[in-house]
Amino acid sequence: MMHPFFLSILVSSVLGLGLAIPSYTCIVMGNLDIIRKKKGKLSPTDVIFLAKGIVNLLLQCVMSLQGMLFVLSLEILYNRQVYAFISTSGYFLTYCNFWLTFWLSAHYCTTITNLSYGFFIWVKRIVSNYLNPLLFLTAFGIFIVSVPGFWAVYGESIQFFENSSEASLTRYRTTLSYFVPANTLGVILPFCLSLLCLVLTSSFLLRHVWRVKNNDSGSTRPNLQAHVTALRTIFFLLLIFIFFGITRMLMFFRGSPKFTDLMPMVNWSLRLLSPSVEGAVIFQASNKLRRIILRRFWIRSWRNTET
């Protein structure tokens, strides 16, 4: 009988892949449908959602493949070339996803708050007019940061099964020399910037609601539903950020006897399911995607009933 730890990894891998493929396929196809109807023109949010759909689908495939190989074939996974390629691809796609979250948060923040500071005006102009080149440059910069990780992971995998103090010292030096600055640029920096956007957006909306409630001019109150949806989207995406940080922090408890079995199971489950969870966040944030998908399924089901 399979150990519960390996069973949870296998179930999370299959479940995450089963949820990600249809959801992100719908997101990509829905945005392509918008491109076809609008003759190649997408709003900044649609562009970021399309990029997130592609990145998260690839990330879910890489992570599910890693989980399945970890359970079913360790010999293949811990081949040095395969292990380094899968790990580096996972880091690259994760960093891309986090920076896409920041650009989405920056777009919402500059659109909703209308701050008059020069920096925010510059960010708003860049996001509105040069988003596609900006996303390309972001991916290129992350690629440059991630490429040295292949050799870092490759060298780390050589010492993976060694328990000597020299091997542990080598892994510790590798972590400090590459993974600390890479995670700072790929995880901590976009998280802090996205958190700043969330704080600015929420404080602006709270002040705006307070002014509207205390307005005695009798003017009609604006509809804040779109702003609330944007704020909720940033919050959920940052929550996924936090879950990712938790999975990293849980690795420090590997040596504790109390958490030997529980923590790795929670760690792997959170990591394997996080890309597919973002699909639900994207769907709740885009009314256009929901309408397109529902219309397609409704027409298809109607045709099936007619035949």
pLDDT at 161 over 50: no
pLDDT of residue 123: 78
Alpha carbon distance 286, 275 (integer Å): 17
27-48 average pLDDT score: 80
Alpha carbon distance 20, 24 (integer Å): 6
Residues with Cβ < 8 Å from 124, sequence gap 6 or more?
Answer: 110, 111
Q: How confident is the model at residue 126 (pLDDT cuts 50, 70, 90)?
A: confident
Q: Which 8-state DSSP code applies to residue 253? A: G
Alpha carbon distance 199, 109 (integer Å): 9
Which of 227, 193, 230 shows the shortest CA–CA distance to 208?
A: 227
pLDDT digits (tens, 9 = 90+) for 69-114: 888 888 887 777 888 888 888 889 999 999 999 999 988 888 888 7
User: 39 — alpha (psi -120 to 50), left (phi > 0) or beta?
Assistant: left
Contact 231, 30 (CB under 8 A): no
Alpha carbon distance 127, 306 (integer Å): 46
Q: List b or e across 14-37, with b for residues whose CB sees 16 or more CB atoms inside 10 angstroms.
A: eebbebbbebbebbbebbebbeee
Which of 295, 251, 252 shows the shortest CA–CA distance to 270?
A: 251
Query: To which CATH superfamily is domain 4-288 assigned?
Result: Rhodopsin 7-helix transmembrane proteins (1.20.1070.10)
Alpha carbon distance 46, 66 (integer Å): 30
Burial of residue 233 (CB within 10 Å: 0-12, 13-18, 19+) is buried
pLDDT of residue 29: 84
HSE (side-chain half, CA atoms, 13 Å) at 275:
34
pLDDT of residue 103: 92
Higher pLDDT pick, 122 / 297: 122
Pick the range with the lowest mean pLDDT from 47-51, 85-89, 190-194, 297-301.
297-301
pLDDT of residue 164: 46
pLDDT at 140 over 50: yes
Q: Where are the domains of the chain?
A: 4-288
Q: How confident is the model at residue 136 (pLDDT cuts 50, 70, 90)?
A: very high
pLDDT of residue 104: 92
Alpha carbon distance 91, 187 (integer Å): 10
Alpha carbon distance 81, 287 (integer Å): 43
Alpha carbon dihedral 301, 303, 305, 307, in 10-degree steps, equals -150
pLDDT digits (tens, 9 = 90+) for 182-221: 888 888 899 999 999 899 888 888 887 787 677 654 444 5
pLDDT digits (tens, 9 = 90+) for 236-261: 989 888 887 777 666 655 555 555 55
